[in-house]
Amino acid sequence: MVMETKRRKAVFVFPRCLGLRRARPRHGRKEKERPASRPADWRDWAALPGTALRAILGRLHQTDVLRGTGPGLACASWRRAAVEDPLLWRRIDLASDEDGDKDAPAGWQAMARAAVDRSAGWCESFRGRVDGDLLVYLADNTPLLRSLHVTSMLDMHGCQLGTTAMEKLPLLEQLVVAGGYFDHAMLCAVLDHCPRLRLLDAGG
C-alpha cells in the first residue's frame, strides 16, 4: 500500500480565484476550450422578483419614476413594473420645495393624475400639490385613501368641489393642509363624511 502510494504523482488543483492557468497537456495535445462562465456574483437585474423590484423602485423619487428619468429605468422590465405594479403607488409623494409658490409648475396636475392612475385604486396616502379639481379626482379614484397631505395653498372657501370630494373619502384618517382656508361647509363635510378622522390640520 505504501509503495503504490509513492508511485502516484501528486496532482494540484489551483482555485480559479488565484488567477493561475492550468498546465498545458503534454505530447502536443490541445485542450478543448470551455465557454467562459459567468462570475459567481452575476445577477440578471432585469429578472428580479416583484417584491425585490418594488423595494428598489420604492427608494426612488416618484417624480423621477413618472418622468422615466430615475436610475435603472432604462431597463424595459423596470419601466414596465413602474407602470403596471399598483402596489408601488400605494403611497404617493410628489411634494417639492416649490409647492408653496403661488405659480404651479407646468404639468404638475397631469403627473399627479398619472400617479393616481397607476395605483389602480390602491392608493392609501397622497402627499403633494392639490387644487379643487385634483381633490375631486382623488376622491373618485382612491377609495382606500387614508391620509391626504396637501403641500400647497388650498382655498376651499365657497368651493363645492371640496364638500363633494369629502363625501367620497369615508376611510380618511388624516387631513393636513399646509396653507389655505376651510369654510364652514367644508369643515362640516369633513366631520360628517369622514368618521375615522383622527388628525385635521387645516391652515397650518
The torsion angles phi and psi of 32, rounded to 5 degrees, stand at -65, 125
How high does pLDDT run on average in the chain? 79
| Cβ contacts of 45 within 8 Å, gap of 6 or more | 72, 75
Segment 20-52, tens digit of pLDDT: 445 555 555 555 555 555 555 555 666 777 788
Using alpha carbons only, give the angle 120, 126, 130 rounded to the nearest 5 degrees: 110
Locus of grid cell 375631486: 136
Residue 80: per-residue pLDDT: 84
- Whether residue 8 is predicted with pLDDT greater than 60 in this model: the reply is no
Residue 5: per-residue pLDDT: 46
% residues pLDDT > 70 (the chain): 72
The torsion angles phi and psi of 203, rounded to 5 degrees, stand at 95, 15
Model pTM? 0.73
β-strand partners of 101: none
